[in-house]
């Protein structure tokens, strides 16, 4: 699938690219968006959702990026791990934070399986 560069993009696609660069305060577009641009409606919808979901709110941007990274690691998505490691770094993730994030992610994946394998019933207190 072709990656659609800015200079080859339709005005509709360029408008999304412009917004991505403005929101992220950067001057380039990464391949994810250049690929999605093959389906301009998906590009627009995905970007709008991502922008809304990732903007500062009750959670800090760096926390949101780290959660995104932990999920991407769990799903084994190479592209997403690369891009969200960069995103989390840019938002302030230090080496120490990355180390702890991976430790928590690894631990969760381990105990998730133990809970399934031992077929553990949910405690009444956890049922609210």
Q: What share of the chain is helix, strand, coil (3-state, %, to 5)?
A: 75, 0, 25
In the 8-state DSSP scheme, what is residue 59?
Answer: S
Residues 86-115 within binding reach of its own copies (CB under 8 A): 86, 94-97, 99-115
Of the ranges 6-14, 17-25, 47-55, which one interacts with its own copies (CB under 8 A)?
Answer: 47-55
Provide, rounded to whole angstroms, the least separation between the CB of residue 115 and its own copies. Answer: 4
Provide, rounded to whole angstroms, the least separation between the CB of residue 25 and its own copies. Answer: 15
Provide, rounded to whole angstroms, the least separation between the CB of residue 88 and its own copies. Answer: 11
Does residue number 123 form part of the binding site for its own copies (CB under 8 A)? yes
Report the alpha-carbon distance of residue 117 to residue 128 in Å, rounded. Answer: 24
In the 8-state DSSP scheme, what is residue 9?
Answer: S
- Residue 18 or residue 94: which is nearer to its own copies going by CB? 94
Report the alpha-carbon distance of residue 68 to residue 65 in Å, rounded. Answer: 5
Helix (H) or strand (E) holding 60: none
The vertex-9 CA angle with 8 and 10, nearest 5°, equals 130
Of residues 5, 10, 12, 38, which one binds its own copies by CB under 8 A? 38
Does residue number 27 form part of the binding site for its own copies (CB under 8 A)? no
Q: Two tokens at 114?
A: 């133990």
Of the ranges 5-13, 16-24, 71-79, which one interacts with its own copies (CB under 8 A)?
Answer: 71-79
Does residue number 10 form part of the binding site for its own copies (CB under 8 A)? no
In the 8-state DSSP scheme, what is residue 30?
Answer: -
């Amino acid at each position: 699938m072709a990656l659609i560069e800015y200079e080859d993009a339709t005005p509709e696609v360029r408008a999304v690219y412009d917004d991505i660069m403005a929101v992220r305060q950067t001057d380039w577009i990464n391949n994810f968006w250049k690929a999605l641009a093959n389906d301009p409606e998906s590009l627009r919808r995905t970007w709008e959702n991502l922008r809304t979901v990732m903007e500062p709110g009750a959670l800090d941007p760096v926390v949101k990026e780290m959660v995104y990274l932990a999920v991407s690691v769990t799903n084994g998505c190479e592209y997403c791990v690369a891009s969200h490691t960069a995103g989390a770094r840019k938002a302030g993730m230090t080496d120490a934070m990355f180390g702890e994030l991976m430790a928590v992610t690894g631990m969760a994946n381990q105990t998730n399986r133990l809970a399934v394998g031992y077929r553990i019933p949910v405690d009444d207190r956890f049922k609210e």
